[in-house]
Structure 1
Amino acid sequence: MELNHIKQVYLIGIGGIGMSGLARYFRHLGCTVYGYDKTRTPLTHELEQEGIVVTFKDEEARIPVQFSRPDAASLVIYTPAIPKNAAILNAFVRRGFEVYKRSQVLGIISEGSYTIAVAGTHGKTTTSCMIAHVLKSAGIDCSAFLGGIATNYNSNVLYGTSNVMVVEADEYDRSFLTLHPDIAIVTSMDADHLDIYGSHEQLQGSFRLFASQLKPAGRLIVRQGLALEHANFYAAGEQEAEVMGYNICIEDGDFYFDFKNAEISIRNIRLGIPGLHNVENAVSAIQAALYLDVDAGLIKDALGSFAGVKRRFEYVVKTEAHIFIDDYAHHPAELQACITSIKKLFPERKLTVIFQPHLFTRTRDFAPEFAAALDMADELLLMDIYPARELPINGISADTILSRMQLQNKQVLSREEIINRIALHPPELLLTAGAGDIDQMVEPLKKVLLNV
């Protein structure tokens, strides 16, 4: 595939955060872009407003006539999250098109670039957005493919004039193995996607393969404690490591910390977003920027102006009466980190959590861990499982988590019941968490809290 020959692109699953980034990239290059997704969302609406044609019916007849037969000017991309029996996907295959995974296309785009790839079962989106923001702020006009909407840029794709590219490396379906980075960061390797990998050991093996694909003289930055070799290890807090964030404190709701490695110290860094886990993410971002010879003062300024990522510890409401935080956390480790930071920031407030489990397999595999993390709340309003690509599993439901919890103040409610309950009993501290369609509740809940 020659990218400079491509004139028209069709993306199957265009509404996904990674796929929509590719759609915007090819639109930016001047291509005509089409796509299918099963659900209308604010993101698909934005794509349509940008001139991208999106259909929401999985029917062969919806494929534009321009894609009647394969040619060098046409590119078809799909996400592995699309069911294998999808009508549009199979129509393209039947017509003789070579259909590319998003990760394959990303690998081709990044060829020839100085690539910084950030991998991890959690933490990779915020870290990759941090790195891109630090580089942009320091005058390195990088491009970036991100797994979330960077608040500073209101986009999940950034266009740059330099040869530097920041890529969020997705471990799902082993997608990150298409990348050969100059700098690789691994933030975490917790058990996840066991429907794909089968075991935690297999997932860890995939991360080792990713780390081995560094270019010659490449740099590997790894969180302390992960089973990888030949890396610069980083940590935040009390743990000792080659690269460290320490002297962490909170002043007026802001996190401050010091940074050091073997060559340099940076004092009194203010982080523009909250969370102990984000201090850790920032430490790896600093080390990556230092490898590109970014000035320490510019790094410090950029981290202070970093506004975060949509749905990553995002303040939706912050008044004297109510604080409402929305977060993408959908793995037990993410939930625990998020709730821990909230309780550290607001120790006197009662925390109500609204959580939507994501995937039947993840709920089945980690029900005890989810229960332990959610037991940290003062009140839990649990939604039904968001199935995404999966069919139901007999005996697995939201009650699979609920039945394992020690917390007394907990129940499973529908979307409408939750909104009505919040209206009747508005909490002083509210967290919504999950990776499904719980984000569609954010605006209704915001309106409720701002009008009580």
Structure 2
Amino acid sequence: MEFQKVYFLGIGGIGMSALARYFMYGGKQVAGYDRTPSHLTDELSAEGAAIHFEDDVRLIPAGFLDPADTMVVYTPAVPQEHGELQYFAENGFRIEKRSQMLGHLAEGKYVMAVAGTHGKTTTSTLVAWLNRGLTGGGSAFLGGISKNFNGNLVLDGNGVQGLRPVAERGAAASESRPAGGRLAVEADEFDRSFLRLWPDVAVVTSADADHLDIYGTHEAVKEAFSQFVRQIRPGGYLIIKQGVDIVVDNPQITVYRYAYDEPCDFYARNVQLLEGGYYRYDIVTPGGVIEGCTLGIPGWVNIENSVAAVASVWCAAKADGTEPDAGKLREALASFSGVKRRFEFYVNTPKQVYMDDYAHHPRELAATLTSVRKMFPGRRVTALFQPHLYTRTRDLYAEFAEALSHADEVVLLPIYPAREEPIPGITSEIIAERVAVPCRIVGRETLADTVAAMDTDVVISFGAGNIDACCGALAEKLKAKS
């Protein structure tokens, strides 16, 4: 890229921060704006990025004010009326969305993209870990913080969080970016971002009604996924979950179906529950059976994710004219540590369990609660949920209530607005009044004390907002109860 400096609007987002790290690793100067400080922005600042938190052109570093050597990347979560975005647009800067930039960086690589309204973060992170286990390399842009890679960016099989400043790494840093090879990416359907990708292998985990503020209807969501499938390169592969209802009309690809334990092209069999919610199982593939697999993270839903990930690397190996090494696959599955805020345990004792999960769609909530029920049969489950976005709550409040009713008791937080303004009449109350089990609404600042005073056994917190800021306090109080 001819630009030596990259400015990010929304630099603290999980996908944006991975791009920022990529460019810093490649020797570029990076700066940016975000709405609020976070753990991610703290890390990026420590790694060399200049970040501020007010929409003020005067705060843009002087070195990033020349359109001849500065590129601007923004997330669609930044509104078009944002002052800094308007400044860059009016002054001739090259400006691209995050998805456009990701599309550029995917050129020349063997792209393994995981799409879906839920399940894509864990699955794409597992694809990256399996690539490393099987080939020793591979790169990835991830939608969560991988515990194995200790970050959301993987280059040549290694995580790069905690980069030394460019000056310390020297000129060789700009030569260390990978060219070609396997690239695992989370293909995000928000704002139709995934239509900037042209994958060789694509996984579709789900195509539920979501982001209706963008799409309008569920049919429009499904059509976008169909278009994504049409963009799989000739000779490529689609791995789609059994039962996902989208049009598949790309005649130049091979289509495989996968499932948890329903016989199809790829599925799990002989599933055995182990202590602590872990499982042992076999994975059936078109080329044979990989026996005696165990996954390093608990939950039956993650078995399904692992089947999809194995199918992805199996197809990549087939494209190379090889078969993946079964022993290396088993080893990589067993050593997978998961993703922060995806089935993340804080307390796991016979008397008290506390885990946190990013789930923010009704299908995700229902799948995780069902999985927890199977992991801890006969135990009392308390769900803590922070709804994310007014529009999503407006469109899916009945489905949220139905999903949360899989728990024995529910605690709701007020809606996390993110990029949205309030919508009259849309509050957490419209969910609470439809939940079929005892339900209360509390403020985030009193959540830990409220839960500590309740009769709890298995507790799980959900949400894509800032409920995770409560995890430490919740864990401390629930650990004391155990």
TM-score by length of 2: 0.90
Q: How do 1:289-438 residues align onto structure 2 when only pairs under 5 Å count?
A: 289-291=313-315, 292=317, 293-407=323-437, 409-425=438-454, 427-438=456-467
For 1:250, which of 242, 265, 273 is the aligned residue? Answer: 273
Q: Tell me the C-alpha RMSD between the 2 structures.
A: 1.3
For 1:159, which of 155, 158, 174 is the aligned residue? Answer: 155
For 2:105, which of 68, 85, 109 is the aligned residue? Answer: 109
- What CA distance in whole angstroms lies between the structure 2 residues aligned with 1:84 and 1:419? 37
Q: CA deviation at 1:356?
A: 0.2
Matched, 1:287 2:311: yes
Amino acid at match of 2:100: Q
- What CA distance in whole angstroms lies between the structure 2 residues aligned with 1:178 and 1:448? 45
Paired residues of 2:447 and 2:470 also in contact (CA < 8 A) = no
- What CA distance in whole angstroms lies between the structure 1 residues aligned with 2:141 and 2:343? 20
Q: How do 1:222-241 residues align onto structure 2 when only pairs under 5 Å count?
A: 222-226=240-244, 227-229=246-248, 231-237=255-261, 239-241=262-264
What SS is found at the alignment partner of 1:236? coil
Which segments of structure 1 move beyond 4 Å, counting only runs of 4 or more? none
- What CA distance in whole angstroms lies between the structure 2 residues aligned with 1:297 and 1:448? 42
Q: CA deviation at 1:191?
A: 0.7
Q: CA deviation at 1:146?
A: 0.3
- What CA distance in whole angstroms lies between the structure 2 residues aligned with 1:172 and 1:149? 19
- What CA distance in whole angstroms lies between the structure 1 residues aligned with 2:406 and 2:62? 54
Q: CA deviation at 1:6?
A: 2.6
Q: Deviations over 1:168-205 (max 9, x none)?
A: 10100000111111111111101100110111111111
For 1:51, which of 48, 51, 61 is the aligned residue? Answer: 48
Paired residues of 1:426 and 1:449 also in contact (CA < 8 A) = no
Q: CA deviation at 1:83?
A: 1.6
1:23 equivalent in structure 2: 20
Q: Deviations over 1:345-379 (max 9, x none)?
A: 11232111110000111111111110011111111
1:183 equivalent in structure 2: 201
Q: CA deviation at 1:10?
A: 0.7
2:168 equivalent in structure 1: none
Q: CA deviation at 1:8?
A: 0.9
290-299 vs 120-129, greater mean Cα deviation: 290-299
Amino acid at match of 1:256: R
Paired residues of 1:69 and 1:96 also in contact (CA < 8 A) = no
* Count of paired positions: 446
- What CA distance in whole angstroms lies between the structure 2 residues aligned with 1:37 and 1:200? 31
- What CA distance in whole angstroms lies between the structure 2 residues aligned with 1:68 and 1:138? 44
2:64 equivalent in structure 1: 67
- What CA distance in whole angstroms lies between the structure 2 residues aligned with 1:135 and 1:242? 21
Show structure 2 runs of 5+ residues with no match.
Answer: 157-177, 249-253, 318-322
Amino acid at match of 2:465: G
Amino acid at match of 2:364: E
- What CA distance in whole angstroms lies between the structure 2 residues aligned with 1:76 and 1:149? 24
Amino acid at match of 2:3: I
Q: Deviations over 1:127-158 (max 9, x none)?
A: 00001001111234001000000111110000
Q: CA deviation at 1:447?
A: 2.1
Q: CA deviation at 1:426?
A: 6.2
- What CA distance in whole angstroms lies between the structure 2 residues aligned with 1:271 and 1:130? 10
- What CA distance in whole angstroms lies between the structure 1 residues aligned with 2:296 and 2:452? 31
TM-score by length of 1: 0.96
2:159 equivalent in structure 1: none
Matched, 1:259 2:283: yes
What SS is found at the alignment partner of 1:302? helix
- What CA distance in whole angstroms lies between the structure 2 residues aligned with 1:385 and 1:357? 5
- What CA distance in whole angstroms lies between the structure 1 residues aligned with 2:383 and 2:73? 37
Show structure 1 runs of 5+ residues with no match.
Answer: none
Q: How do 1:65-104 residues align onto structure 2 when only pairs under 5 Å count?
A: 65-71=62-68, 73-104=69-100
Q: How do 1:128-167 residues align onto structure 2 when only pairs under 5 Å count?
A: 128-160=124-156, 161=178, 163-167=181-185
Amino acid at match of 1:316: Y
Amino acid at match of 1:211: V
Amino acid at match of 1:8: K
Paired residues of 1:69 and 1:95 also in contact (CA < 8 A) = no
Paired residues of 2:355 and 2:459 also in contact (CA < 8 A) = yes
Paired residues of 1:327 and 1:431 also in contact (CA < 8 A) = yes
What SS is found at the alignment partner of 1:211? helix
85-94 vs 111-120, greater mean Cα deviation: 85-94
What SS is found at the alignment partner of 1:395? coil
Paired residues of 1:103 and 1:175 also in contact (CA < 8 A) = yes
1:269 equivalent in structure 2: 293
